[in-house]
Amino acid sequence: MKIKKTRDFLCIWIFLLIFFVLGKGVYAEETDGIPEELLEEIEEENVYTDDIGGDILFSENYAVPFSGTIEYAEDAETAVQILRQQMINRNGLISIYYHGEYTEGMSAEFLERAVAYDDTLPGMAGDYLRYHFQRVVRRTYKGVNEDGEYIRFEYEIYYLSSYDQELAVNEKVCDILEELDVYSADREMKIRSVYAYITSHVRYDSMIYETFNVHSAYGAAVEGKAVCQGYSLLLYRLLQELGIQNRMISGEAGGTSHIWNIVEMDGYWYNMDVTWDWGKDEQFKWLLVGAESFDRSHIRDSEFMAEAFYHMYPMALKDYYKEPVEEPIDQVEAFVTRLYKEILGRDADAFGLKEWSEVLKSGREQGAKVAQGFVDSDEFKARNLSDDAYIHALYRTFFDREADSSGLTAWRKVLDSGLSRMHVFRGFAESDEFTGICGRYGIVRGNANLTAPRDQNEGVTKYIVRNYRLCLGREADERGLNDWCDAILSGRNTAKEAAYGFVFSQEFLKRNLSDEEYIRVLYRVFMDRDADGPGLSGWKRVLNEGKSREHVFDGFADSIEFANICNSYGILKK
């Protein structure tokens, strides 16, 4: 810590030396003998950040050299863009030469516009920037040079994080989103996943309240400790990176200043107080909360209670997905309500009930396809059901009864053979039992529509899974399974060619099997049995005589036994 303070002191000392001793060389616009006139100098706290006492706290993050580049702006918009970028870069002293028309108070206007929210800006701008500095000194100078009069705006800014810390935040944000892997998830799942990550990974730490880090995204993301401002900044940044607009709201809660977020869902905005849910990984109380209940404990600052703000961000009154919908008024709504309860394990929300009911009533989709939308949804997948729990859910949904032991065992075997859960779903959705259930609600059952190659031909899928297990000694990965199934279904590969692809793949070759081990694998793949003594000796002798492993492969792959195996899966050997 002593070394760090010494380094910071040197940085400040060098800056002062350059500024006061070599000042004429810093600002190229000044002309010899014509000093600038100071029009305005205002020091102010950032009203959007929490109170942080003690000027000594500013030194660590303020010891940032000013930009070495002289910035010029011919108009206000350019000046705002320069200021915003320099602040993102955490420059401690920013100087902008302005040749446009000057009006009193322009430096404050530029700063406000530089940190204003704009959904077209990257995640490190907007509210993230607005809540990431503590204090600013604004100076406005008027000068004259060979081109005439100019205005120089100078901003001396004290940040809550340094440039190096922001680089660490950028890296951590990427790591978090990669770990969550929700880029293809629906909007609600993205929000819930990010929210849950923060509540379970960031500890509330009021013991070191009087320091910068707990108020910044760096403290929350990298150090894993924060107060409300740090929590809110990290939530804002992660959601913005996922393309989800959200705003940070300052106000009062629990008798003290507080910051939380709002986010849009289905046309309305909902409150999120990730700080008040810290330490939880589920059963959140303050996620997607409507104004009716949230406003009892949280009071916004006046800016966020203005009519213009509410017009731009209309708040939902009720909690999202929390209020059960009234009993459905017709059979179609009753059918959809049943899917919500049996598949998602919750009551239908008004928006979802309306949308799915209209899909059925309009004839755009039929019963099985709508049910597929529920079973294949991110929300259902997020329940992380075991195979048994998945099968039980399908029995209740599509057979309207609990699973019997023999049926449960049979469907387990289907999944164990390598077939997908959606393949099992299709078996239930196209059953006579579900046809009857749809009939009760006046719904046409229709058929499921599975497009993945692994779901097109049961025999081909089982054959490929068998190759993964016998040749590579592992379960098939989804992408590889689909690629191999597609190769056979499209005719690009025969069964023999597919087997060759496994046996002479880099993954198989890296196993470095001995000749005997290689032959034993071929027996299991092409004969569906273990090697017998004479056969094993005979094939080893073939290899010892100089024949290649490809030669031995052909001998097995062209056998009657392998032809019978292919026939059992309903596919051609070659």
CATH number (domain holding residue 493): 1.10.3130.20
Identify whether 574 is part of a domain. Answer: no
Backbone angles phi, psi at 47, to 5 degrees: -70, -10
Residues in a beta bridge with 256: 253
pLDDT for 329 equals 56
In whole angstroms, give the CA distance from residue 74 to residue 171: 35
Three-class SS of residue 257? strand
Contact criterion met (CB below 8 Å) for 132 and 217: yes
- One domain, residues 126 and 38: yes
Measured at the alpha carbon of residue 284, what is the angle toward residues 279 and 290, in degrees to the nearest 5? Answer: 135
Contact criterion met (CB below 8 Å) for 547 and 540: no
pLDDT for 52 equals 46
Measured at the alpha carbon of residue 566, what is the angle toward residues 565 and 569, in degrees to the nearest 5? Answer: 95
Backbone angles phi, psi at 31, to 5 degrees: -115, 150
Three-class SS of residue 145? strand
pLDDT for 436 equals 84
Identify whether 542 is part of a domain. Answer: yes
Identify whether 325 is part of a domain. Answer: no
pLDDT for 145 equals 79
Contact criterion met (CB below 8 Å) for 135 and 45: yes
Backbone angles phi, psi at 510, to 5 degrees: -70, -10
Contact criterion met (CB below 8 Å) for 180 and 197: yes
- One domain, residues 411 and 554: no
- One domain, residues 305 and 191: yes
- One domain, residues 13 and 117: yes
Contact criterion met (CB below 8 Å) for 70 and 155: no
Angle between helices 367-375 and 331-339 (to 10 degrees): 30
Identify whether 317 is part of a domain. Answer: no
- One domain, residues 387 and 274: no
In whole angstroms, give the CA distance from residue 311 to residue 331: 37
pLDDT for 34 equals 62
- The ranges of the chain with pLDDT < 70 are 1-34, 47-70, 206-213, 322-329, 573
- One domain, residues 134 and 196: no
Contact criterion met (CB below 8 Å) for 178 and 275: no
Q: How many domains in the chain? A: 4
- One domain, residues 222 and 353: no
Identify whether 573 is part of a domain. Answer: no
How many CB atoms sit inside 10 A of residue 268's CB?
17
- One domain, residues 505 and 376: no
Q: Which of the listed residues 160, 181, 196 is the one where a domain comes to its end? A: 160
Q: Which of the listed residues 160, 185, 203 is the one where a domain comes to its end? A: 160
pLDDT for 39 equals 86
Q: Name 119's Cβ contacts closer than 8 Å, sequence gap at least 6.
A: 126, 245
CATH number of the domain where residue 251 is located: 3.10.620.30
- One domain, residues 61 and 118: yes
In whole angstroms, give the CA distance from residue 86 to residue 69: 10
Identify whether 320 is part of a domain. Answer: no
- One domain, residues 189 and 146: no
Q: Which helix (H) or strand (E) holds 136?
A: strand 133-145
Which domain, by its residues, includes 182? 164-312
Identify whether 114 is part of a domain. Answer: yes
Identify whether 533 is part of a domain. Answer: yes
At 200, list the tokens.
């379970």
Residues in a beta bridge with 253: 256, 298
Backbone angles phi, psi at 237, to 5 degrees: -65, -45
Contact criterion met (CB below 8 Å) for 412 and 395: no
In the block, tokens 């040197």 appear at 10
In whole angstroms, give the CA distance from residue 524 to residue 109: 77
- One domain, residues 122 and 258: no
Region of 572 on the Ramachandran plot (φ > 0 left; ψ -120 to 50 alpha; else beta): beta
- Could you tell me which of 352, 375, 356, 361 has the C-alpha nearest to residue 449? 375
DSSP per-residue letters across 199-219: HHH-EE--TTTTSSGGGSHHI
- One domain, residues 156 and 168: no
Q: Name 396's Cβ contacts closer than 8 Å, sequence gap at least 6.
A: 342, 402
In whole angstroms, give the CA distance from residue 214 to residue 203: 10
